[in-house]
Structure 1
Amino acid sequence: MMNPHSTSWDYVAAMFSYEFQGGGIDYDTLETLHRGDVHEWVEALEHSGLFDRPTIADAEAQWKHRPRLLLDILLLDADEMTRKRCDMAWSSLDRLAPFAQSG
């Protein structure tokens, strides 16, 4: 399992966190992440050439099981307001998830 304090996570955060800086958050992206659809992010790791296959597979498994881990990485360098907006949206998705699964 990838240690959340490892250098690998730092590289992942550096690759992705720019997308969430300055309030640049897209609700559809949050919804996709919340569902555990992490394909786009895993593919970016594969194409970066920075990670070996076991590291990528480990990240993918963890993100699918606990997508909030990926969100936390994405928000690492985001401003406080962006983090709060994302946290509120994520909480909203948590509340709606049982209805979406039953429908």
Structure 2
Amino acid sequence: MNAQPMTCGDYVTATFARDFVADGFDHDTVERIHRGLFDEWTHALAQSGLFSNGTVADALDSWQDDPHSLLSALLANADEITLKRYDLVWEALERSAHAGSADAVVEYA
């Protein structure tokens, strides 16, 4: 049997996903993740005692490269309706971020 090594997302899913979904929809958390604010998640991984410092650092690097990967890991076991709610918020944040950057370009052009 060839076991695949666990990814950062696998660690997050195993550690947080059930509680994240059970706690109900959380718009503020989606906004923080979208803005790249990962302190609570890196702290929770580090404090769990389950992961090495290297694994925690790798997780942070992964999230900084792709913030949506953290949200996806947290929602890995969520039902379809929950996924849709979070996707709609993420898409709205993306549109807002792109509109803001377009406005900044126009202002300084």
TM-score (norm: length of structure 1)? 0.84
1:8 Cα deviation after fit: 5.5
Deviations 1:9-68 (A, max 9, x none): 433212111233257111111000000101100000000011111111010011122110
Shift in alpha-carbon separation, 1:8–1:88, aligned structure 2, 3 A:
closer
Percent of residue pairs bearing the same amino acid type: 45
Match of 1:15 in 2: 15
Flag structure 1 segments of 5+ consecutive residues without an equivalent. Answer: none
Write the mapping of 1:26-41 to structure 2, written as runs, cut at 5 A.
26-41=26-41
SS in structure 2 at match of 1:50: coil
Flag structure 2 segments of 5+ consecutive residues without an equivalent. Answer: 105-109
- RMSD, aligned CA: 2.3
Match of 1:94 in 2: 94
TM-score (norm: length of structure 2)? 0.79
